[in-house]
Structure 1
Amino acid sequence: MTETLLVDVRDGVALVTLNRPQARNALSPDLAHGLSSALRRLDADNAVRVIVLTGADPAFCAGLDLKSLAADGPAYLEAIRESNCIRLVGELATPVIGAVNGAAFTGGFEIALGCDFLIASDRANFADTHARVGVLPGGGMTVRLPDRVGPGWARRMSFTGDVVDADLALRIGLVTEVVAHDDLVGRALEVARRIADTDGQMLRSVKQIYDAGWDATTGPALAVEGEMATATTPDWDALESNRRNVMASNRAQL
């Protein structure tokens, strides 16, 4: 069986690759729990100074596995919530670079937003399709996205579900740079090695200061999002129709 997650640690840099390419790296329960376990382990390892998170081509992460969501409903959502993999990325003490190689949609977009900053392939694109699928965001989308791109673009993306390509993502501040697809991982690792040259404890302290300031202003909003997402039960009858429509749209855009 193919491993759903690949981890390679060298010289203080951990390269973590979501590896369900046939499903565009959608979050199966196995992948979600594997990602959480790996991130916690790497975060506890003082020898790891920076994490690079990417996906196996052609996508970064398509978010929730819509087939599993439609088939297993509450059980699937509970497995994803239990793993906490979507929110966990933004809670790590270790700096995280997102190397976005393709589509980062919905839950996958939230994972990307949890990274400290993003470097994108020229094939990268981003979309928030929570409303179209019929599931409320619970991984920080409504707080992290406006923090990156401002409230106007954030609401536009969440209300419309429109796809933002790499060039537009750069213009609105969602990513810090765009590189040729084949150069993406090499560029992200190059930046990661520059970060890893810094004293590890100093890195964590600087990140802690950034996070403390951010948490002081956004903590209540994150709590409200989490409570609403947990309290709201999706309409399972409508979900199957939404799933088919979104999957058809995704196939045309991923």
Structure 2
Amino acid sequence: MTLEPNGVLLAEEAGEGIMLLTMNRPAQRNAIDPALLDAMNAAFDAFVQDDRWRVGVLTGAPPAFCAGLDLKTFSAPDAPRQSVTALIQRVPRLGKPMIAAVGGAAYTGGLELALGCDFILASENARFADTHAKIGALSGSGMGSRLPHAVGARFARQMILSCQPVDAATALRVGLANELLPAEQLLPRAIEIAGAIAAHDPGLIRMSKSVIDRGTEGTLADALAIETEALQKRKAMGAMAWSSATPG
């Protein structure tokens, strides 16, 4: 199933309920241009609106994940860069889990795209960097808030102020990536986790995701109140379905 005729974005079913999205501009390191922008918005529309899809996996065709904005296209002063900002900011608000499978470079807007996903899996050749300062720009897509949230303020300062890339092992150590995998295992592992998520009640998954998302945006007291609120809503829906499996 391909959603974009010219192939800048490949969309396919990678398992029951799993939409695999592959940014496919390898010669441009999967930098976002208008065609890819439109294709991603269309894919996100389908992902959100069709109950068939429960979990998404976002990746890039080798050798990169995403180099961010295509500066050849968006360098003009009147270029609609805000449309890319809107795309990036849309990812954490999709309402369904989205996993970033990062192989190669995730730079600047590409890093912001990965940060918008629920979590990041990285291959051994993954690299992460914020180069806004190098190009004389200031992020408006969440780098200054989501990166410190992921790795802590001190390491975020190092990445944002120096513009130096960090390797996959460092990303794992500082909490930017959840797992570090050989390149050939990256997508299989992402799809395996997606499958485990897709096997659960989608309403409960959305509620659990919302608790985490809302809770981590505030204080601990806010988070506890949000969790209590969600639990009361869940109880009001009826008895919880407990698995018969013995806990491991």
Q: Same fold (TM over 0.5)?
A: yes
Q: Tell me the distance in 2 between the aligned counterparts of 1:152 and 1:74.
A: 35
Tell me the equivalent position of 1:42. 47
Which residue identity lines up with residue 5 of structure 1 in the other structure? Answer: L
Deviation at 1:46, TM superposition (A): 1.6
Tell me the equivalent position of 1:73. 77
Tell me the equivalent position of 2:133. 131
Superposition RMSD in Å: 1.4
Task: Give the counterpart of 1:62 among 64, 67, 72.
Answer: 67
Deviation at 1:32, TM superposition (A): 1.2
More helix by share: 1
Task: Give the counterpart of 2:109 among 107, 110, 113.
Answer: 107
Per-residue deviation, residues 134-179 of structure 1 (Å, max 9, x unmatched): 2211111111101110000001100000000000000111001110
- Determine what percentage of the aligned residue pairs are the same residue: 45
Task: Give the counterpart of 1:154 among 142, 153, 156.
Answer: 156
Q: Tell me the distance in 2 between the aligned counterparts of 1:153 and 1:78.
A: 27
Q: Tell me the distance in 2 between the aligned counterparts of 1:159 and 1:51.
A: 32
Deviation at 1:61, TM superposition (A): 0.2
What is the TM-score normalised by the length of structure 2?
0.83
Q: Tell me the distance in 1 between the aligned counterparts of 2:217 and 2:155.
A: 22
Gaps of 5+ in 2: 220-248
Which residue identity lines up with residue 42 of structure 2 in the other structure? Answer: S
Q: Larger Rg: 1 or 2?
A: 2
Deviation at 1:69, TM superposition (A): 2.8
Q: Tell me the distance in 2 between the aligned counterparts of 1:53 and 1:106.
A: 16
Contact 1:99–1:120, Cα closer than 8 Å, also in 2: yes
**Runs of at least 4 residues off by over 2 Å:** 78-81, 214-217
Q: Tell me the distance in 1 between the aligned counterparts of 2:141 and 2:82.
A: 13
- Higher relative contact order at CA 8 Å, sep ≥6: structure 1 or structure 2? 1
Deviation at 1:195, TM superposition (A): 0.8
Give the total of aligned pairs. Answer: 214
Deviation at 1:91, TM superposition (A): 1.1
What is the TM-score normalised by the length of structure 1?
0.81
- Cα distance, 1:28–1:210 mapped onto 2, change above 3 Å: same
Within 5 A, what are the aligned runs for 1:1-254? 2-9=6-13, 10-70=15-75, 72-81=76-85, 84-216=86-218
Gaps of 5+ in 1: 218-254
Deviation at 1:48, TM superposition (A): 1.1
